[in-house]
């Protein structure tokens, strides 16, 4: 039997990159997948990719930075499938690059709204639905920058640190109610967000920060998310797992 047979799984930010890879893994392991993204074209492409491999998926457009959109998203999932067992809160942005004393306030507000408040809003409405479904798993996408700092990314670093703390709190609260909550901390990953933003010199410098000598792939992150989402990780909750090519070992 596949790892996620008969499970209903939600992935936010699933139109590209890590989110798309997670959605494909979930579907390949038997889950019915709700692909959610603010970008409809990318989200629909992920649904088609899942269907092409014989899986089942639907797309629901949602802006995770608002509580109302998260509430409606979960409501639509329950209307469609009657249950929710797994959620992967992956949607996120990089935000502006500037020192704290010059950081644009509107940029701060946007990054915090999507990368931190969006994870809280997601869990706020997902967890009651998961409880009603008999329990399940929440995976929150943090970052290596949920453990350490870096220059010129105050909002991103603050948000990802917040995601790790939020994950631990929720895990403790629901540990005896059959819900496991964990965070994943990718290093720098080969996604369109990274590749399109960097020139060759910057790309090589970024690669050099990882002892393994390369950037990670979305599939490598998705494999960890899949394990945490399955019963193979049944005694794992409140944890932060980095997948970073040795970045945090330095």
pLDDT (0 to 100) of residue 30? 98
Q: How many structural domains is the chain composed of?
A: 1
CATH number at residue 72: 3.40.50.720
Burial class, 72, CB count within 10 angstroms (exposed 0-12 / middle 13-18 / buried 19+): middle
pLDDT (0 to 100) of residue 194? 76
pLDDT (0 to 100) of residue 64? 97
Whether residue 89 contacts residue 65, with contact meaning beta carbons closer than 8 Å, is answered with no
200 within some domain: no
Query: pLDDT per residue over 170-223, tens digit each?
Result: 999 999 999 999 999 999 999 766 777 788 898 999 999 999 999 999 999 999
**Active site residue ranges:** 156
136 within some domain: yes
225 within some domain: yes
pLDDT (0 to 100) of residue 191? 78
88 within some domain: yes
58 within some domain: yes
Range of the domain at 92: 8-189+218-242
Give the distance, in angstroms, between the CA of residue 6 and the centroid of all CA atoms in the same chain.
21
Query: How far is the C-alpha of 136 from the C-alpha of 132, rounded, in Å?
Result: 10
CA distances from 163 to 8, 140, 169, 186 (A): 23, 7, 10, 13
Contacts 24+ apart (CB under 8 A), 39-42: 39/15, 41/15, 42/15, 42/16
Average pLDDT over residues 60-64: 98
56 within some domain: yes
Query: pLDDT per residue over 67-125, tens digit each?
Result: 999 999 999 999 999 999 999 999 999 999 999 999 999 999 999 999 999 999 999 99
207 within some domain: no
130 within some domain: yes
Average pLDDT over residues 127-135: 98
């Amino acid at each position: 039997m596949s790892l996620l047979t008969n499970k209903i799984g939600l992935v936010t930010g699933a139109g590209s990159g890590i989110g798309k890879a997670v959605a494909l893994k979930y579907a390949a392991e038997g889950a019915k997948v709700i692909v959610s993204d603010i970008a409809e074209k990318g989200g629909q492409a992920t649904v088609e990719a899942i269907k092409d491999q014989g899986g089942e998926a639907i797309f629901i457009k949602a802006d995770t930075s608002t509580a109302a959109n998260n509430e409606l998203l979960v409501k639509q999932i329950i209307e469609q499938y009657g249950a929710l067992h797994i959620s992967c809160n992956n949607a996120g942005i990089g935000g502006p690059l500037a020192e704290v004393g010059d950081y644009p306030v509107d940029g701060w507000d946007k990054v915090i709204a999507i990368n931190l408040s969006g994870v809280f809003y997601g869990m706020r409405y997902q967890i009651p639905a998961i409880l009603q479904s008999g329990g399940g798993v929440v995976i929150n996408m943090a970052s290596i920058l949920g453990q350490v700092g870096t220059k010129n990314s105050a909002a991103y670093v603050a948000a990802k640190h917040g995601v790790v703390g939020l994950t631990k709190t929720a895990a403790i609260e629901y540990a005896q109610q059959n819900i496991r909550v964990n965070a994943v901390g990718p290093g720098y990953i080969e996604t369109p967000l990274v590749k399109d933003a960097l020139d060759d010199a910057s790309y090589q410098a970024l690669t050099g920060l990882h002892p393994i000598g390369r950037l990670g792939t979305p599939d490598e992150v998705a494999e960890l998310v899949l394990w945490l989402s399955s019963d193979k990780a049944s005694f794992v909750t409140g944890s932060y797992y980095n997948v970073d090519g040795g970045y945090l070992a330095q």
